[in-house]
Each structure stands twice: as structure tokens, then as C-alpha cells.
Amino acid sequence: MNSVTGLLKDYSIEKTHLNGKLINVFTYTALEQINDEMLDMMFKIMPVNRQISAKRYRNELDKKLCIVSYALFVLAMQKTFSIYDSYEFTFNENNKPFLKSFPGIHFNISHCKVGVACAIATEKIGVDIQDIIKYDKKLAAAICSQKEIEMMNKAVDKDLELTKIWTMKESYFKMLGTGLIEPLTDVNVYELDNFYQKINSRENYVLSVAI
């Protein structure tokens, strides 16, 4: 477990406060630096059930993201709470994972083709990282409320605005632990509180955290 920091040495961490609580947001985007040997080392620290899940991926990038995201979670636990083992998960009815031995610690993991993210805190949390989505009118109508569409139509960069809205909704529902159970068009993210959002124009992604 101690080798995780060395394997993900180019990770970044941002600390912020939401709802009066400190949250740590870890990201890793240097996927091209991870060779097969490093990936194998990360694979071996995963629990058996996650190893089985990783092996099911036919797409090599998806497999890598599955493995690296768990390694980033381990690193987040080590750096935030100095916890180096006992990462046994339990799951709610919607398959959201929780730490069996540490019920007071909440975390969430996300990945996209540009990298992985892990948010960790002492209350419910959700995170979503997403490379910029190409604006599409039908897609926007399927996921955006009328107010969000109005705001998007005023935006200079509709691709970015759609991605911001999507990641906020995704992180919100992940925080709730319910899955996407209600029509996305019923939720207006501009009326929600307790969000942190980061836009990385250099690496072309948006990251949102809800608590």
C-alpha cells in the first residue's frame, strides 16, 4: 500500500470547504505515464471483486481507469486519514460503496477519458469528472431544466456550459446515493447549494463535487 504515492506521483489535491466541512479532492490525469508494470502493481492492491470487474473490461482505457481510480482512492485514504488498510466495502441498494470499518468517512470516485478523481470527506459526497461534452440540442433537452436551457443559450461556450450542468447533476445524485432516479429535467442545478466546481481548460475537463 505504501507504494501508491510513488505510482501516482503526479496526482493533485485540492482542499476546500463545503457546508462547513473540509473536503479533499484528488485528481490524476497523467494516464500516459502509467506503463503495464505500474498498472499490474496497482491491480494487485485491489480487492478480488474489483479485480474481477477490471478484467471484464474489453476496452484497455476503461480497464486502466478502473484500476487507477481505486489506486487514487487508496492514496486519498492514506493522505487524508493515514489509513493504510481495512478498505472493505459495503454497498447500499443502489450499489454506492461505503467503508465497512469507517462509517464516518465518505468518498466518491469518478473517471473519464482524461483522468480520475476521488473526493473524500466526513459526510455524504459525490464527484464527477468529465471531458468536455459537445453541445447537442437533443441531449440538452433530455438532461436540462428549462432554466438551465435558458442559461445555456446565453453562454458563450455551450459545450462548457452543458458539461458544467451535467457534472453538477451527476455529482449531486452520486452524493445522494440514489442513482439517477428522477427525470434530470426536474432538477435545476442553479437552485442547489454546496457545490465545488473546477474547470481545467488546459486538459479540457470539468470536475464537480456535491456535498
* Mean pLDDT across the chain: 93
Answer whether CATH 3.90.470.20 is correct for domain 4-126.
Answer: yes
Alpha carbon distances (Å) from 191 to 30, 186, 195: 34, 11, 11
Residues constituting the chain: 211
Mean pLDDT within 147-157: 94
Q: For the chain, which residues make up each domain, given as ranges?
A: 4-126, 130-206
Q: What is the structure's pLDDT at 10?
A: 94
Helical segments of 46-184, H only: 48-56, 60-81, 137-143, 146-154, 158-176
Confidence (pLDDT) at 205: 98
Residue 1 has pLDDT above 70, yes or no: no
Cut 0.75: pTM above it: yes
Query: What is the end-to-end Cα distance of the chain in Å, rounded?
Result: 28
- Model confidence at 64, in pLDDT bands (50, 70, 90)? very high
Please, which residues bridge with residue 107 across strands?
A: 120
Give me the pLDDT at residue 137, please.
94
Q: Closest Cα partner for 164 from 119, 205, 192?
A: 205
Instruction: Note the pLDDT of residue 3.
Output: 66
- The pLDDT tens digits of the residues spanning 4-45 come to 888 999 999 999 988 888 999 999 999 999 999 999 999 999
Query: Whole-angstrom Cα distance, residue 7 to residue 44?
Result: 13
Query: What is the C-alpha separation between 13 and 35, in angstroms, rounded?
Result: 23
Per-residue pLDDT at 2 exceeds 60 = no
Compute the average pLDDT of residues 182-188: 88
Q: Angle at CA 131, nearest 5°, toward 186 and 8?
A: 125
**Which of 23-27, 118-122, 150-154, 182-186 has the weakest average pLDDT?**
182-186
Measured CA to CA, the distance from residue 96 to residue 186 in angstroms comes to: 22
Q: What average pLDDT does the segment 63-75 reach?
A: 97
User: pLDDT of 80-124, one tens digit each?
Assistant: 999 998 788 888 888 888 999 999 999 999 999 999 999 999 999
